[in-house]
A = this chain, B = another copy of it.
Amino acid sequence: MAQDPQRPVANAKRTVFFVSDRTGITAETLGHSLLTQFDATFEHVTLPFVDSPERAYLAIQQIEEANLANGERSIVFSTVIDDQVRAILRSANAVVFDFFETFIEPLEQELKLPSSHMVGRSHGLVDNTMYDVRIDAMNYALNHDDGVRTHLYSQADVILVGVSRTGKTPSCIYLALQYGVYAANYPLTEDDLEEGGLPKALEPYRNKLYGLTIQPQRLVQIRNERRPNSRYSSIRQCQYEIARAEALFKKENIPFVDTTTMSIEEIATTIMHERKIKRRVL
């Protein structure tokens, strides 16, 4: 193992464990955002539902096995809340990043309140209302995805506008699942693009509109997956559609974003932020 701290070297393979008493999604998100800061390769192992001493010992066993296989101690990101389980995990021969322990005490001090130390309030045992809102919003997105059923646009928090394959549908669904937001999407047809004005169905909802655009080359690539070597996926057609769509956005003062290098999360968050949409679930 290289010991010179001045010279960055690729270490031996490391296994990273995301340990949680619930889904492990929080631990993964946090750990992942830290690990992407390093130019190294990690093996990821998520251990969800580690909610008893028995399961904690099983986790320890897996960690020890990885240590042995790699010749390096493993890294553990833990969001476990239960005190007993946490104590067992701390005994692992690993670097343990314990999110709960790190932040809960300063938070207790600041709030002058004890924490419940109870599992399952986040990503689980949710009240049904929140579940229902997300599902309802998702169904709304799925049912208002084609620009045909426009009569319920009045219920929409936002209506995404763009040519085919700019990311409208996944963004609407993500907005529903993450924020409980009602997002419709209106695909601009060739007729819409030729006419050039705002499609009639959208007229009453100007302040809900948000445009998505994309670089022509990337659109060709995406459309080729769907219909290879078609007019639909030709560079000429993609360039034409995008130019017309962007001209429309500008003429009609519709805010829009280029999704070419964005993740679904980024597109959704940008829309929330720029359209100042209020989330319906926490």
Contact = CB atoms under 8 A, between A and B. Distances in A.
Nearest to A141: B173
Contact of A103 (B48, B97, B106, B130): B97
A225 B135 CA distance: 11
Contact of A265 (B2, B39, B123, B270): B123
Interface residues of A, number: 85
A91 interface: no
Contacts of A170: 134-135, 138, 177
Contacts of A37: 81, 104, 107, 115-118, 121
B113 A34 contact: no
Q: Which 6 A-B pairs have the closest CB atoms?
A: A36-B121, A37-B115, A23-B269, A33-B122, A123-B265, A126-B263
Given A95-B110, A125-B263, 20 more contacts: A5-B112, A23-B266, A29-B30, A30-B30, A32-B282, A33-B121, A33-B122, A34-B99, A34-B104, A37-B121, A38-B116, A48-B272, A49-B270, A124-B262, A124-B265, A124-B266, A130-B263, A132-B222, A170-B177, A173-B177
